[in-house]
Amino acid sequence: MNLEDSRLCWVALNFLGFEGLKSARKALERFPSVTDLFHAERRELERSGIDAESVGRIISGKALGRAEKELAKLEKRGERLITAEDGEYPDLLREIYDPPLVLYCAGKAEALKGPAVAIVGTRKPSPYGRAVAEKLAAELASRELVIVSGLARGIDSSAHWGALKEGRSVAVLGSGLDVVYPKENALLARKIRENGAVVSEYPLGTMPLGRNFPVRNRIISGLSLGLLVVEAAQHSGSLISAGLALDQNREVMAVPGHVTSELSRGTHWLIQKGARLVESWEDVADGLPSPWREEILARGGGPPCLPPPSVEENEILEKLPPDAALPIDAIVEATGRTVAETLAVLLNLELKGLVLQSAGKCFQRRI
């Protein structure tokens, strides 16, 4: 084992940080480099304030031994490690309070460096919320912004899927890279890796414990120029993310919703407190710092136009509201067509990006 391998030492320090060492970064500040920390003698480590158990793991070589196995596993999986001293480490993330010591990364590491916007929200969105998140993510991604979110159910998933239609996305996990949560998003995670990245500061095998998610939220906002909240209840994890974004001097934005909806309470509260009200991708771009604001707004345009809807497609589109999902039976009754005919037209509308399908064969018109 080569103690000069700083990557090995970074992984070992990251392990210690999650297993009892009160502040791995503070301990590191007492030594010229991470390798010097692992070269140090017991007395020097104890004087630096490192707890006895962590000192024992460093002196015995257990911490480095475990790190060596971790890097071997990561290499076997075809994934990579980005440490705080690597040039690939995201500049924006480096600026925040308590940036992660390492990032486990699956996919394209360069996606972490590009201008990004975070989109977060409730795990149980309304059809309106899903449609708005997907639409805004697609429009922003088509203008070369990376969309960052947390791979959770609901708004996170809608934002990722929207971004993938036109560009790149980054997912930040509250678990190890080998423990995708929720499981139904395994396909989504694979799609994100193709052009973007899935990242985590947690070691391989880390389970998605509840306490991990508030901690990982600082990375979601830290990677981004601004954070957009789409639907959030009054006491919501998304509001915690908004608070972290403010602490990091990021622009906080929110989409207004129905005044009677509980899912509008959090976003309306943010807007009352000064968050930027967002109705379009231009509103998001206008809230970004220079020079990104000017660059994104100058891109204008958008994705290429698809053929216009046919007469049959327009007939069904007119029956579909943008803020609610209708079951197939209701659509059949409204149009007078058979189930087979209606589903065939709806499929074409989905392929054109004009209709969104949700569970239970329910459909809504995209905004």
Burial string for 313-346 (b: 16+ CB within 10 Å, else e) reads beebbeebeebebbebeebbeebebeeeebbebb
> 112-159: per-residue pLDDT in tens?
998 999 999 999 999 889 989 999 999 999 999 999 999 999 999 999
**Contact (Cβ atoms closer than 8 angstroms) between residue 262 and residue 299:** no
d(CA 110, CA 287): 24
Q: Check the CA dihedral 87-91-93-99 and report its sign.
A: positive
Return the residue matching tokens 């220079």.
290
**Dist. CA 115–CA 225, nearest whole Å:** 7
Phi first, then psi: give them for residue 200, nearest 5 degrees: -160, 150
d(CA 113, CA 204) in angstroms, rounded, equals 23
Instruction: Using pLDDT thresholds of 50, 70 and 90, give the confidence band for residue 218.
Output: very high
Least Cα distance to 217 among 293, 297, 120 occurs for 120
pTM recorded for the entire structure: 0.84
Ramachandran assignment for 117, one of left (phi > 0), alpha (psi -120 to 50 degrees), beta (any other): beta
Query: Is 90 exceeded by the pLDDT of residue 351?
Result: no
Question: What is the band of 341 on the pLDDT scale with cuts at 50, 70, 90?
Answer: confident
In this prediction, residue 30 carries a pLDDT of 87
Mean per-residue pLDDT, 180-199: 97
**DSSP-derived pairing of the beta strands 102-107 and 197-200:** antiparallel
Q: How far is CA 121 from the centre of its chain?
A: 11
Average pLDDT of the residues in 46-56: 88
Q: Is 356 helix (H, G, I), strand (E, B) or coil?
A: strand
Please name which of 163, 164, 160 lies closest in space to residue 182, comparing C-alpha atoms.
160
Residue with tokens 């009352």: 272
- Token pair listed for 125: 């969105």
Burial of residue 128 (CB within 10 Å: 0-12, 13-18, 19+) is: buried
Q: Among 1-15, 48-62, 209-223, name the one with the lowest average pLDDT.
A: 1-15
Q: What's the chain's average pLDDT?
A: 91
pLDDT of residue 76: 95
